[in-house]
Amino acid sequence: MTTALIILGAGMGTRMNSDLPKVLHPIGGAPMIVHAMRAGGGLAPEKTVIVAGHGAEAVSQAALDYDPDAQTVLQTQQLGTAHAVGCAKDALAGFKGDAVVLYGDTPFISVETLEAMAAARALHDIVVLGFEAADPGRYGRLITDGETLDRIVEFKDTNDEERAVTLCNSGVIMARSETLFDLIDSVGNANAAGEYYLTDIIAIGRAKGLSATVVVCDEAETLGINSRTELAAAEAAFQARARADALEDGVTLLAPDTVYFAYDTVLGRDAVIEQNVIFGPDVTVESGARIRAFSHLEGCHVSRGATVGPFARLRPGAELQENVHVGNFVEIKNAVLAEGAKANHLTYIGDADIGERTNIGAGTITCNYDGVFKHRTTIGADAFIGSNTMLVAPVTVGREAMTASGTVVTKDVPDGALAVGRARQDNKAGLAVQMFDKLKAAKIKQTKGS
Ligand code: UD1
Ligand code: CA
């Protein structure tokens, strides 16, 4: 069955107390709406429609960044969840498959759960995702009769008996797209909230002879975010799960609670991650690589056998090939370090290609920025860059070439050549002793005077 996603994200999220639309607040480095899109992506949807309201332009952009085919429709007034879904009607005109309604502020629905719903859809016209609530609070209650879901009652409209029901509505609903929009056309707003409730489509559908059922998931999946406190709790839940998954996948985390993951972090089996390491988006670390304590990585790739840190920073475009060593206080950006290259201390390498087995001495800097443009530094294989070399890009250092410590490299260095570019040293015999005597005498005089 082909599927379309309808992701509701028009709510203004007043309790976030933020200029940023609620669904753009990040969890694990990705806007929460992207988490919903990722989960829904497990169903290989043919279309994705985002219903946006507050900050619609920014919401649309974030959705497009993740999925260039995502469409955003506007809900200018938040009249209820049925009205919100109705806003997607034109975008899905003529679509013959299933529609799945997800909430942009509910980031933890799993692909497996959506697959279970899709399986149940083979037997029922409408499938609702429910959960057994520890504290049912203000959730909509699912009124069932055996396998059959008869109706959903919103908290505000419940009687005592209905309020005692603990099986609650997550908000995720799956039905044939045409059926969904047909039913929504019949939804009114004569209820306690004066809203168009999506949940009303169950009773309406049942009266029309359609079948409905519930798939139950763990309550943790249905966690919705309405405040900064809930956002922080969601981040903690995300990190806890990411750590557990990494350990399960055979990654060594020396202090799991101090390692922070992004939504898309990929760590190979037997990779070792030391304490206080932070992964931003788009990082892959291959098997057997080691990330030492207090390192920060984003947008980079670390190959087998490589070591990073402690206190290293890998920025977007850093590509460390096998057995590369990047040590303390080293920053790498948009640069490839070929197999066996080493930059062990106090170095900035930006916009560069470093050859195999080349050694970058302490304090080396690629001067890649002239204030307007960025320029590239290219260094061949088996080169030796002396400590405190300034590589003024664009510049090329040949293979097996060497730069003397303190050299400011402004011209290309041919293969095998030694570049020396620093003031020549001159030794003055006995002058140090004379200097010391003079200075000490001056100090004694000063102390007596005070
Ligand atoms: C909804 C369900 C309730 C369920 C609960 C789970 C309805 C009527 N109620 O209640 O049964 O237990 O979710 O969390 O569906 N939204 C829009 N436009 C609107 C209204 C809502 O985009 O006009 C979006 C919100 O931004 C939010 C989602 O839809 O992401 C749910 O809306 P919300 O008002 O939070 O619904 P609840 O009252 O929590
Ligand atoms: Ca809600």
Specify the ligand 1 atom closest to the Cα of 196.
8
% of the chain residues with pLDDT over 70: 100
Domain spanning 3-222: which superfamily?
Spore Coat Polysaccharide Biosynthesis Protein SpsA; Chain A (3.90.550.10)
- Is the model's pLDDT at 99 over the cut of 80? yes
Average pLDDT over residues 269-286: 98
CB-ligand 1 contact for 81 (6 Å cutoff): yes
Every domain range in the chain assigned CATH 2.160.10.10: 228-419
What is the pLDDT, as a whole number, of residue 387? 98
Cβ atoms of residues 321 and 304 within 8 Å: no
Residue 449: predicted pLDDT: 80
Nearest of 177, 178, 174, 154 to residue 165 by alpha carbon: 154
- Number of CB atoms found within 10 A of residue 147's CB: 12
Between the CA of 170 and the centroid of ligand 1 the distance, in Å, is 9
Is the separation of the CB atoms in 201 and 182 below 8 Å? no
392-402 average pLDDT score: 98
Q: Residues 228-419: name the CATH superfamily.
A: Hexapeptide repeat proteins (2.160.10.10)
Question: What confidence tens digit (pLDDT) does each residue in 215-256 have?
Answer: 999 999 999 999 999 999 999 999 999 999 999 999 999 999
Work out the mean pLDDT of the chain and round it to a whole number.
97
pLDDT category at 13 given cuts 50, 70, 90 is confident
Cα–Cα distance between 288 and 291 in angstroms, integer? 10
**Would you give the DSSP letter of residue 19?**
S
Pocket flag, ligand 1, residue 225 (CB < 6 Å): no
Please say whether the beta carbons of 260 and 240 come within 8 A. no
| Confidence (pLDDT) at 436 | 97
Residues 6 or more apart from 389 whose CB is under 8 A from it? Answer: 361, 363, 364, 365, 403, 405, 406, 407, 408, 409
Ligand 1 pocket test, candidate residues 7, 50, 81, 87, most atoms within 8 A of CB: 81
Using the predicted structure, report yes or no on whether residue 273 has a pLDDT greater than 90: yes
Give the count of beta carbons closer than 10 Å to the beta carbon of residue 307.
20
Give nearest CA residue, ligand 1 atom 3: 140
Q: Which residue has the tokens 């839940």?
A: 237
The answer, yes or no, to whether any atom of ligand 1 lies below 6 A from the CB of 49, is no
296 tagged catalytic: no
Strands (E), 249-341: 252-253, 266-267, 272-273, 278-279, 283-285, 290-291, 296-297, 300-302, 307-308, 313-314, 318-320, 325-337
378 close to 412: Cβ distance less than 8 angstroms:
no
User: Residue 173: pLDDT band by 50, 70, 90 thresholds?
Assistant: very high
Q: pLDDT digits over 293-305, tens only?
A: 999 999 999 999 9
83 pocket-lining for ligand 1 (C-beta < 6 Å)? yes
Catalytic residue among 54, 296, 301, 345: 345
Tell which atom from ligand 1 comes closest to the C-alpha of 22.
26
**Residue 54 confidence class, pLDDT cut points 50, 70, 90:** confident
pLDDT tens per residue, range 290-339 = 999 999 999 999 999 999 999 999 999 999 999 999 999 999 999 999 99
Rounded to whole angstroms, the Cα distance separating 329 from 352 reads 18
Residues 6+ apart with CB under 8 A from 444: none
Residue with structure tokens 């007034």?
77
Specify the pLDDT at position 35. 98
Percent of the chain whose pLDDT exceeds 90: 98
* DSSP percent split of the chain into helix, strand, coil, nearest 5: 25, 30, 40
Contact 55 CB / ligand 1 (< 6 Å): no
Top mutation candidate among 85, 103, 132, 152 for ligand 1, by most atoms within 8 Å of CB: 103
Q: Where exactly does CATH 3.90.550.10 map onto the chain? A: 3-222
Q: Which atom of ligand 1 is nearest to the CA of 170?
A: 6
Number of other CB atoms surrounding residue 318 within 10 Å:
27
Quickly count: other Cβ atoms within 10 Å of residue 314's Cβ: 29
Residue 128 has pLDDT above 80, yes or no: yes
Q: With 90 as the cut, is the pLDDT of residue 450 above it?
A: no
